[in-house]
């Protein structure tokens, strides 16, 4: 019984850490790190490169899925333009950082790339 209580306590304490990765705030952090890998003095920190790559891959993959299912009607010419547009929108609307990734990305992509009739 004591072991079960200890395990449940561990899950309770770790839940906020795992939930933080599932919010749009995690993508915002990857957007901020992108500035560190561009320009003449790019960082050599491999962790930052991996974080930025993961963020860019998530944004591109999610956008392509939404394009395929018809939720959005077009995407920019390059993945870099898509990444920059999503990051700039998140910067301008900090109230969406705490949204879940799927809900937040749906909102951002629909505002930026859905059919505006």
Q: 17 pLDDT band (50/70/90 cuts)?
A: very low
Mean pLDDT of the chain: 76
Average pLDDT over residues 25-37: 76
pTM of the predicted model, to two decimals?
0.69
How far is residue 35's CA from residue 43's CA, in Å, rounded to a whole number? 9
**Residues 87-98: pLDDT tens digits?**
889 889 988 888
**Structure token pair of residue 19:** 């939930």
Average pLDDT over residues 69-90: 86
Cα 71 to the chain's mean position, in Å?
18
How far is residue 101's CA from residue 44's CA, in Å, rounded to a whole number? 28
């Amino acid at each position: 019984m004591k072991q079960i209580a200890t395990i449940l306590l561990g899950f309770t304490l770790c839940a906020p850490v795992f939930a933080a990765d599932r919010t749009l705030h995690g993508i915002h952090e990857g957007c901020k790190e992108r500035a560190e890998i561009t320009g003449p003095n790019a960082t050599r920190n491999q962790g930052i490169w991996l974080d930025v790559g993961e963020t860019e891959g998530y944004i591109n993959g999610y956008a392509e899925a939404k394009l395929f299912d018809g939720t959005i009607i077009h995407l920019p010419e390059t993945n870099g333009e898509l990444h920059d547009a999503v990051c700039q929108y998140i910067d301008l609307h900090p109230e969406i950082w705490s949204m879940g990734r799927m809900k937040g990305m749906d909102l951002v992509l629909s505002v930026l790339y859905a059919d505006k009739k």
